[in-house]
Structure 1
Amino acid sequence: MSKSTPHETGRPDPELPRGVALAWGIAANPQRGPKRELSIERIVEAAIEIADAEGLGAVSMSRVAASLGFTTMSLYRYVTSKDDLILLMAEDATLIAVPDETVERIWRDGITAWVSALRTAYREHPWLVDVPISGAPITPNSLTIVDWFLREVRSLPLTDGEKMSALLLCTSYVRATSAQERDLGAAAEASDPADVSGENFFEVLTELVTPERFPYLSPLLAAGGYVSEPGTGSIDTDDDFEFGLQRILDGIEHHIGRVESGVPVVSATPLPPQLDLPRDAKVREAAKARREAEKALREAQKREREAIKHALEREKHAREKAARGT
């Protein structure tokens, strides 16, 4: 969060939302407040400690106030809403050390370093993935992140819009994979990690996933490429993350090559308009038959899922019974 001194010149607050103005350090100080040891910085720090330990859902104005030994109304003199508090928490949690501008590297390495720094912030504060995206970044730390990315792609023959689209693509990738990693980690802590990785279900799945029904998945499963054999797998997402990132960079590089070679970039063909089907008896009869078939398929799929669930439960119970017997 910005450490700038709030303006004391008597000028009116700028036309910014209260939370954003607080992040920039240009919002007016509260006229009255409790003991001077309470500050916006302390409030945000306490809120982050709660979120790091228990998740964003555990953060409330009353909870933060209690952790600091003040009343809830005392906090409202500094931060006027929970939404503003969450904004300031996200701003503080994304304070990233930007490398010195004298560091020279190719643009792929620069974006990789940028992505790595952003991913580290999400790993240190997993609740960041739960903060709603409400608009374009306009706080100082978030704009610093944008500025760093634009520095790494400054020499590329891309339009301003394409550079911002590339930034959005990379940001979305980090956010989505961080959410997945956070959820998998939480599931592993709450249960058997081998359940999460699928190792415990390898044997039963090899019986259920037959070549006749799953001709392409079956050999992958048998080779340990989908669910690892017991004792051989782990919940490690680094390789998957690196693969995805490099393919994103490959795509950007391919686009750059097209631009440099003068190949026109054709926009996607718009989807055709919805056709008005003739309203005759045969069309209605065929549509009705299709809906009935789709309903029957959904019911069969539901029965299949239930059968698989029961098979997995039986397999788990058998393992537990065998373990007790030993």
Structure 2
Amino acid sequence: MSDTDLDDLPRGIALAWGVAASPQRGPKREMSVERIVEAAVELADAEGLGAVSMAAVASRLGYTPMSLYRYISAKDDLILLMQEAAVGAPGPITGEGWRERAIAFHDALLSAYLAHPWAIEIPIAGISPTPGTAAWMDAGIQVFDDTPFDDDERLSLMLMLTGYAHWYAMAVAGMTRRAAETGSDYDAVGHESDGLLARLVTADEYPSLHRAIAAGVLSSGSDPFRFGLDRIIDGIAAHLEALAVGTAAAPSRGPLPEAPEVASDRRVRETRKKVREAEKLLRAAHKEERAALREARERARQRQAKDAAGS
């Protein structure tokens, strides 16, 4: 591919791939895109993504914001380059067979997120076309190279593992951040929220959750995310077995969610509003039903007690 084929790349993407034209150096010759991104990552690591601005990064470097704009022309480009630097590219994803490699891929991505937890706060707007993202995608697809899955299926499995690692990291990072804010520790944060949930959940309103809490699920010490990952892996294995004996269901490849111009159509919005209102009424009816059941049980209990007292 020639340089002219890349002339129309967005500035941030061109910087990530190292094909952007370098600005003419001013008197501050130690300034560079790499130094700006490094300072921005240090700031995010110390104070969170919300603390990052062109002015804040410039101040950290001892320059004016205008000095930075000669190298990185927009904050969105800076965030993209920060994510690229923080998450980077994976090391070798190894293991005996696809199962071990799938877990290794997930754990490597989880570790990358947790090393810079602000990176998971960056809004997802499609696949980020950067070298690091391409490297992670390539590694995730390679996990299934010795399986009969086609490329569509391998891409889907890679996205599933990526999404699970992202959610896992969000939960861990959120509790870690809460612990730091309160001067507590990770386990104490979990115990606090678990205790509130146990106090508020009743058997009548939430029977299954109440039963699980009473059985000790909140204090069992097990890792629900690791259990979930294991079941994902088991599901992939079961599908492979079904493919081997010819009993696998046909792949479901439905359409993507509606485009914004369709979702914002007046009639679509009106009908969806009616659906939400109907769902709200249904929830209210179920709540009223549960209240009626509680009252009926109490009346029945009182009658039984009265009959027992009179006999």
Structure 1 CA distance for aligned equivalents of residues 283 and 196 of structure 2: 32
Q: For each residue in 1:241-261, what CA deviation from the matched residue of structure 2 results, as whole angstroms up to 9, or x when unmatched? A: 221111111121122222222
Q: For each residue in 1:65-100, what CA deviation from the matched residue of structure 2 results, as whole angstroms up to 9, or x when unmatched? A: 010011101101111110110110111111244228
1:217 corresponds in structure 2 to 209
1:39 corresponds in structure 2 to 32
Does structure 1 retain, via aligned residues, the 8 Å contact 2:58–2:65?
Answer: yes
Q: Which residue of the other structure, out of 216, 233, 240, is the alignment partner of 1:256?
A: 240
Q: For each residue in 1:157-190, what CA deviation from the matched residue of structure 2 results, as whole angstroms up to 9, or x when unmatched? A: 1111111001111111111121121112222233
33 and 269 in structure 1: CA distance in 2 versus 1, 3 angstrom threshold: closer
2:190 corresponds in structure 1 to 197
Secondary structure, counterpart of 1:148 in structure 2: helix
156 and 201 in structure 1: CA distance in 2 versus 1, 3 angstrom threshold: closer
Q: Which residue of the other structure, out of 121, 139, 160, is the alignment partner of 2:130?
A: 139
Flag structure 2 segments of 5+ consecutive residues without an equivalent: 255-277, 289-311
Deviation at 1:291, TM superposition (A): 8.7
One-letter amino acid of the structure 2 residue matched with residue 224 of structure 1: G
2:160 corresponds in structure 1 to 169
Structure 1 CA distance for aligned equivalents of residues 283 and 233 of structure 2: 42
Deviation at 1:223, TM superposition (A): 3.2
One-letter amino acid of the structure 1 residue matched with residue 144 of structure 2: V
Structure holding more helix per residue: 2
Does structure 1 retain, via aligned residues, the 8 Å contact 2:33–2:72?
Answer: yes
One-letter amino acid of the structure 2 residue matched with residue 240 of structure 1: P
Structure 1 CA distance for aligned equivalents of residues 171 and 22 of structure 2: 40
One-letter amino acid of the structure 1 residue matched with residue 160 of structure 2: L
Q: Which residue of the other structure, out of 148, 152, 155, is the alignment partner of 2:143?
A: 152
Deviation at 1:45, TM superposition (A): 0.4
Does structure 2 retain, via aligned residues, the 8 Å contact 1:13–1:28?
Answer: no
Alignment: residue pair count = 263
Structure 1 CA distance for aligned equivalents of residues 161 and 144 of structure 2: 13
1:92 corresponds in structure 2 to 85
One-letter amino acid of the structure 1 residue matched with residue 115 of structure 2: E
What is the TM-score with the length of structure 2 in the denominator? 0.73
The aligned runs of 1:109-124 (5 Å cut-off) are 109-124=100-115
2:227 corresponds in structure 1 to 243
Q: For each residue in 1:121-153, what CA deviation from the matched residue of structure 2 results, as whole angstroms up to 9, or x when unmatched? A: 111100111112222242111111111122221
Deviation at 1:263, TM superposition (A): 2.4
2:96 corresponds in structure 1 to 105
1:19 aligns with 2:12: yes
Q: For the aligned residues, what is the CA RMSD?
A: 3.3
Secondary structure, counterpart of 1:154 in structure 2: coil
Structure 1 CA distance for aligned equivalents of residues 283 and 3 of structure 2: 68
Structure 1 CA distance for aligned equivalents of residues 39 and 20 of structure 2: 21
